[in-house]
Structure 1
């Protein structure tokens, strides 16, 4: 029995025991890799190396639970944050290893890159998962080392790099300006990897909703308990219901939401749409997107900047940020195929309108909707109301907090 779709199964069927899956977002890389492990399993446990954001939200544990229930089996596995890889890789010799978001370990001279290489050599087999395998051949060096084609970066450069001068102040360093024997590189790379865009997986649902859950923040719990919060040496008092409602919604967990958004955006060049509520959220998102060098479009009370119809067919690597009240209705955003509900809206109408900006009749793109939800907070109650096709009202707020 398998819960894979036929196109997912076909990708799995063509893979070697150690392999790199370069698949588009929402293609089911997680499930494919779990079944890959089960296919090549020889009694060894599984290790999943993943971004800390995913470890916090428990996404891999949830997917493994789905497979265990479907197959009637128990999978022995451990999880490790990529940030701890350099310190702990030696504890997992003999494991079958899945490296999620493999672009995070692509640099062979970094601590995590070196640790990943060491771990791949002492694993039973390993799988690399990414939606963005490489922008240049330099990005693939650690993958080539892991699959045994070269001994080190020096050998790779000697055989393939065409070096030129790069000036750093008064210093001159050698940097690759082009690559030779590229047909050989392509042949080798294709021998251990497969690349499929999201559009290949035609039998997957056109729209997929993923609830990404976080733990409540220290700030949230302080406000809930004391109705005050110290920010930048200033004591903020939430002594009215509107102030309290707004504070609890904003401070549910801004840190982890921003961190998870960075992981998503950094791991794809697909177009993303983010619905937010607060100006402070907008400001932090803009800082993040500038750091990631994303093309930004924006819709709010002060700005209305969207790509032209001529730009949209070839548009990539963009993020459109919309405030609910301004961007949830009367605009078409089908060029985005990832949608993030950063902070929930109280309005059921705004929620359904926002849902329909990218998910529209005639849209040929598969759309993944990420709903950020902080457990055991007011956000849980808000999404409960929206699920029941209701606004989240002051009455529901008072009932939730037993005021």
Structure 2
């Protein structure tokens, strides 16, 4: 068989970089700036796109957020320095409807949402990805720390080489179709220091810019304050109740509490440490109890995005590892499909503080591959 006369370039296309258009999603931070600069230096036809997700005035008041006013300025500056076009797209309405509104409703429902996942799923990897196609791009690149590797049946999602920077938990809902079009040029780097070294090499002004912190639209981590602003009167008072039925005190709103919380309960003078074990929105109750009541073995999961080679329901059980919070390591589990998008997950070792609204992400225990995941909810 003759050799292919057109070897693949670094983004996987059989043509020169100069003939390969790549849209880079630029947040204004060091990661996406390095991606854009690196691809431009390699000779690609780079187009930078930054999303304006909320009002500039409010955004400028918050330090350490992504997609804020100063970040738009920084992204534009990188594009000017490296010599490629840059566009700012107004996605305020889309972001409000697809991410912020659901965030508020989830909190009011007693869940602990992860809006960064919804933003990737519903804004960046949906609308922005379609915009990239409208710009006749061959692919879209981002600064996420995750890897895309080619497998026997197509592209696979893999954890980043640097476990401390890995963002797989926040990208589990990336579909096979999206994965065909996406590229993650930083996923193989050994550390964030390596990224900053590249930024310095390219002479980028953002080389020493701090990483973004917390959720971009939540100032100072005050989730309850944001909910009260979005839903005035939402923080209705109620009782703090022990799991055995005793009323221990009053609270100022269920939205001020999360599953597993111990501090700030406002119920002193007790002989044992107590934790929030359940939020009963209908009864306006915060239910507390000893730590052992937090242990969960069986987790109902829905809205599953499956990234396996075989159909999800082709097996009665999948023996994988799962992660139920972004800060926790994967734990061994048995996943039992109930439909194409729902499952019961049995943890071999019980986890504490499993909360509705969080993601349950599936990992191959023997490799870096991610098999998708779904959303934890209350029950069937």
Normalised to the residue count of structure 1, the TM-score between the two structures is 0.28
Structure having the higher strand fraction is 2
Structure having the higher helix fraction is 1
